[in-house]
Amino acid sequence: VAHVVIVGGSDAGTEAALRARELDPSAEITMFVADEFVNYSVCGLPFLASGEVADWRDLAHRDLREITGRGIEVRLGHRVHAVAIDQQHVETAGPTASAKVAFDRLILATGATAVRPAVPGIELPGVFALHSMGDGIALRRWLDERSPRRVLVVGTGYIGVEIADALVRRGIEVTLVGRAPTILSSIDPDLGDLVRAELERGGVRCLTTAALRRIEPGSDGLRAAVGDGHLDVDGVVVGAGVVPDVDLARDAGIEIGATGAIQVSRQMVTSAPAVLAAGDCAETWHAMLGRPSWLPLGTTSHKQGRVAGENAVGGEATFGGSIGTQVVKVFNVAAARTGLADDDARAAGFEPIAATTVTPDHKPYYPGSSELTIRVTADRESGRLLGMQIVGHWQAEVAKRIDVAATAIQTGLSVADLLRLDLSYTPPVSAPWDPIQQAARSWLGTAG
Ligand SMILES: Cc1cc2nc3c(=O)[nH]c(=O)nc-3n(C[C@H](O)[C@H](O)[C@H](O)COP(=O)(O)OP(=O)(O)OC[C@H]3O[C@@H](n4cnc5c(N)ncnc54)[C@H](O)[C@@H]3O)c2cc1C
């Protein structure tokens, strides 16, 4: 393949470029990036806001020279504003000139855009999003310069709770508001309540089933109408979800899937055979449901990018799929999930049974033990493990334990199989039966 053009230079775009280069030393590879930031870890933005990460430059996965040093041409500040499929070129606008650039293979990695609630005042100064590097740098600058005392955070998903944690670390009084009845709707409500308790322990005021209605300039900052009341705050940070950025693809006549993201095969090829897509702009093959879904995550974006990069230079890679494995840390608690929750499992034709176990993360006689709450969801008939959720201390191996469950689910293991796994043990970190094996035993007890 002579020329691979990539639109987007974040997780998916950069991964695609590097993989294409690795497999094809002679292909010309050009990456167009609308902003000035190539290959930064946007997942680290909450930690830039809190100050745990000192400088935004520290978030670079790789620096620009490392990428260009591999013979990848990177055009920062160049937005692609049109794709001509039949003519196989893109139209770009840079700081000084516009151009038409021909491609043999095109990879769309345009990501997602942050949802801004459609309420009056959402454009006022002092209202921030936290999605792009530019957003993160602007928020950090405001926090450093303004030293706000009270901030409203909108959105009770994982980004909202990460922002709330970050602001509390700076000594800010935080109110967290969301329309959903619970915190973190990606986990079951009773586990979400554990996260809420941790937020409240940390001093965050949580308002659920409450919508942001309006923002107005106040006497000294902003006045936000939330639910039935009003809050006077110095600023508002919105983490209310994302939607796939598909404008370029749609305008080019590329099929958009029922999920709203770009329709792709498991080879990451779109409805136009010379155009691939990867990352948050593209659909995610769900390995358990056996159909496309949309799970915009850094983990998925990197894997899809690698597949797209490989296939753009003649490879035959297939995206393995996602099962919705995720973890988030809030103060001292980590909340993790993988696989299907009960409702999804039922909708997928399983007959799920769930059992919840509360157990120490390691032998309590060794200092520092804490409780893990583990929910196991499995199919009544076959015993097949369908999902797991864990909430506990972030240093209690919550994430690695969910990863064992994810591995078990992806390899089709049953709950009984979990008991046969040879897992490690020493009293400071586990028990002879690891907590997830104890949870498996109680599921077997419940299921009879
Ligand atoms: C605050 C925050 C925390 C997160 N934490 C986690 C986490 O802990 N774990 C996890 O797995 N995921 C996390 N994510 C999600 C993860 O960051 C995204 O899934 C991932 O960055 C998506 O990568 P992407 O390359 O698809 O798109 P994006 O990162 O959205 O990048 C899109 C790229 O396309 C460029 N672009 C867009 N349109 C054009 C155009 N027309 N022309 C040229 N360039 C264009 C942009 O400039 C950018 O370079 C987090 C996200 C945020 C915002």
Q: Which atom of ligand 1 is nearest to the CA of 80?
A: 42
Structure confidence at residue 1 (pLDDT): 75
CB 377 within 8 A of CB 356: no
Mutate which of 238, 297, 307, 329 for ligand 1 pocket (most atoms within 8 A of beta carbon): 297
Give tens-digit pLDDT for 250-286. 999 999 999 999 999 999 999 999 999 999 999 999 9
Q: Which atom of ligand 1 is nearest to the CA of 8?
A: 34
Torsion of CA 94, 96, 99, 103, to 10 degrees: -40
Verify whether residue 281 is a known catalytic residue.
no
Structure confidence at residue 436 (pLDDT): 98
239 Cβ inside 6 Å of ligand 1 = no
359 Cβ inside 6 Å of ligand 1 = no
Structure confidence at residue 332 (pLDDT): 98
Mutate which of 92, 110, 275 for ligand 1 pocket (most atoms within 8 A of beta carbon): 110
Q: Are strands 79-84 and 89-93 parallel, antiparallel or unpaired?
A: antiparallel
CB 60 within 8 A of CB 35: no
Active-site residue among 43, 211, 225, 243? 43
Closest residue by Cα to atom 6, ligand 1, is 43
Angstrom CA distances, 176 to 159, 167, 194, 353, stand at 11, 11, 15, 33
Structure confidence at residue 97 (pLDDT): 79
| Residue whose entry in the numeric block shows the structure tokens 């973890």 | 327
Mutate which of 280, 323, 338, 394 for ligand 1 pocket (most atoms within 8 A of beta carbon): 280
112 Cβ inside 6 Å of ligand 1 = yes
**Alpha-carbon distance 238 to 217, whole Å?**
17
Q: How many angstroms does the Cα of residue 431 sit away from the middle of ligand 1?
A: 39
What are the start-end ranges of the H helices in 270-339? Answer: 298-312
Q: What are phi and psi of 94, to 5 degrees?
A: -105, -175
Q: How many angstroms does the Cα of residue 28 sit away from the middle of ligand 1?
A: 24
**Alpha-carbon distance 45 to 139, whole Å?**
10
Structure confidence at residue 214 (pLDDT): 97
Regions of the chain where pLDDT drops below 50: none
**Alpha-carbon distance 236 to 174, whole Å?**
10
Structure tokens at 219: 């006497």
Q: Which atom of ligand 1 is nearest to the CA of 112?
A: 30
Q: How many angstroms does the Cα of residue 166 sit away from the middle of ligand 1?
A: 20
Q: Which atom of ligand 1 is nearest to the CA of 37?
A: 49
90 Cβ inside 6 Å of ligand 1 = no
**Alpha-carbon distance 326 to 194, whole Å?**
17
**Alpha-carbon distance 257 to 263, whole Å?**
5
Q: How many angstroms does the Cα of residue 192 sit away from the middle of ligand 1?
A: 26
Structure confidence at residue 126 (pLDDT): 96
Q: How many angstroms does the Cα of residue 206 sit away from the middle of ligand 1?
A: 27
Q: How many angstroms does the Cα of residue 36 sit away from the middle of ligand 1?
A: 14
